Amino acid sequence: MTLEQLVEQIKSKRTYLCVGLDSDIQKIPKHLMDDEDPVFAFNKAIIDATLPYCVAYKINTAFYESRGLNGWASLEKTIRYIPATHFRIADAKRGDIGNTSSQYAIAFLQHLPFDAITVAPYMGEDSVKPFLQFEGKWAIVLGLTSNPGARDFELNELADGNGRLYEKVIRTVTGWGTIHNTMFVVGATRAEEFTNLRRIVPHHFFLVPGVGAQGGSLKDISEKAINEHVGILVNSSRDIIFASSGTDFSIAAGEKAQSYAVEMADYLK
């Protein structure tokens, strides 16, 4: 999906919601466990219920890889079920030496119909560039994450006095790609940093996890981060997909996604 196509989807639907399919088999409704593929049955129902209210889906591959071959089967069925009208993200956080990253890129961006993959940049340019070689595909590079461990490295001041490590990473990565194939992950719990981030990367898209269960404020993020392209995809996972654990789980998920979309429409006025 191109930048122009993504922006058109956001503006026509008046939402920048990304639904995270962190489909933990231990948490899906019990009545689905008799299905041949409980996780796919769950995902299918969630997708059907939320499709009108979002523009993207993010599949956290850890919840599938942990289940071995069965998990990979669920993942592949899920990604092929999501229509191409929606931006499809593999939250896989890959990043290795160049020839290895090339194989990861082929797996997720060529063999599977993902539009984007999350990438860890800390091994440098040759670990990221292989993900930027596919037309209409994106690398979503870890910028400033919301986890407590971000203080161990990302928020450290540089010895030369030129800002913090995460700022250097983002400035450097912008030279490897363009606004047409590179986004940055910025945690919703770092809302105070968005004004600074927009000075560094005024035109790039941000993927923003951490709204909902992790406590990030949609209002704060939207006010600080929206740019001329809208420029943000706000992800909510648990708050939507596990809105109910009963037989009404998909209805509850759709209602929760709709509530996000209604709020987002206000910020797009």
Residue 212, both tokens: 């909902």
First to last CA, the chain: 25
What's the pLDDT at 211? Answer: 78
What are the structure tokens assigned to 204, written together? 């790039």
Three-class SS state of 252: helix
Q: Which CATH topology does 3-267 take?
A: TIM Barrel (3.20.20)
* Mean pLDDT per 10-residue segment, the chain (269 residues): 96 97 96 96 98 98 97 98 98 93 96 97 94 96 86 83 88 96 90 88 93 76 91 95 95 97 92
Which residues are annotated as catalytic?
93
**The pLDDT value given to residue 213:** 59
Query: What are the structural domain ranges in the chain?
Result: 3-267
Say which residues have a Cβ less than 8 Å from residue 5's Cβ, sequence separation at least 6: none
Note the pTM of the prediction, 2 decimals. 0.94
User: In terms of Cα–Cα distance, which of 259, 243, 236, 268 is closest to 57?
Assistant: 236
Q: Check residue 212 and give its pLDDT.
A: 66
